[in-house]
Structure formats: C-alpha cells, structure tokens
Amino acid sequence: MAEWHATVEAVGLAMSGDREAGLAALMSAWEETREADHARRCVIAHYVADLQPSLEDEVRWDELALAEHAHVADADLAPVGITSAAGMAPSLHLNLGDGYLRQGRRREAEAELEKGLQQRHELPADGYGDMIRGGLDRLRSRLDEATGEEDREA
C-alpha cells in the first residue's frame, strides 16, 4: 500500500477542488510510477485527464488511462478499495467517449459508449454505479442529438 500512498493523496487533493495543487500532486505521483505500474498509472491518468486545460490533452490522458487499464487485474486495485477492475472500465469508456464527442469525433464516441454499455453490468449497485450509468445514458442522448442535427443538416 505504501506505493499507493502518494497516488491516493493526490487523488484526494484533486477531488477537493484545488485543481492546480491536485494536478501537481498527480503529476508527481505519475513520475514515481514505473512503466509496469499499470493500475496506478490508470488511476492517475483517469484523474489527470479531468484537470487538463485543453480538450486535446484531456482526451490524450483518457486514452492513456484506458490503455493502462488493459493490463490491470482486480488484485492490482484492491489496495485502494476497488474490487473489480472491470467495474472501472465503463467510467473510462464514458470519459473517453465524452471527450471524443466534444472533439466532433462522433464515430469514436459511439464506439466508446458501446464498450461502456457492454460493461455496465460490472458497475456496483451503489451511488458510483448509478452516477456512471447516468453518465452513459446522457452520453447516449447527446450522441442521439448530434445524429439528429446531422440528419437535419443533410
């Protein structure tokens, strides 16, 4: 758990609302990781993405979080109380899909939404799970609206 200490503290700081200090702490925690620290890198990248000033950087960090997640097993996240690596995937797909949609990359956004929806059964039956399920539903609505706008313009 010692190796997770800086990561957990950095995430807490980022979630406290102090974006600048949170980002600095997360980047410091990132620098402490090794290439094989996929779980820590996934968690850090997931939170770093939300603190980026540009959409391009946000999407790049979301892509990185998802790439790291591909190498994460349940036991890797247990030290921070995440019991299912698969349960984290819908959130990662949601964030990346949202970023893609805001970039105008509708097809990529739809693909990420579908991946998130396919894994929504992995979400816990709690407030976090409800929040992510709601986010997936809202992304679906936004994509439907974007498709409708394209149809009207055609």
pLDDT tens digit sequence for 31-58: 999 999 999 999 999 999 999 999 999 9
CA-CA distance, 97 to 99, in Å (whole number)?
A: 5
74 and 8, same structural domain?
yes
Which of 30, 48, 83 is at the close of a domain?
83
75 and 7, same structural domain?
yes
Question: What pLDDT is attached to residue 2?
Answer: 55
CA-CA distance, 16 to 96, in Å (whole number)?
A: 23
**Domain that residue 127 falls in:** 87-154
| Residue labelled with tokens 């609206």 | 145
pLDDT tens digit sequence for 77-116: 888 888 889 999 999 999 999 999 999 999 999 999 999 9
109 and 142, same structural domain?
yes
| Residue labelled with tokens 């698969």 | 86
Mean pLDDT value across the chain: 93
Concatenated DSSP letters of 10-32 = HHHHHHTT-HHHHHHHHHHHHHH
| Residue labelled with tokens 């950095």 | 10
Q: How confident is the model at residue 153 (pLDDT cuts 50, 70, 90)?
A: low
Question: What pLDDT is attached to residue 147?
Answer: 82
Question: What pLDDT is attached to residue 36?
Answer: 95
Burial class (CB in 10 A: 0-12, 13-18, 19+), 62: buried
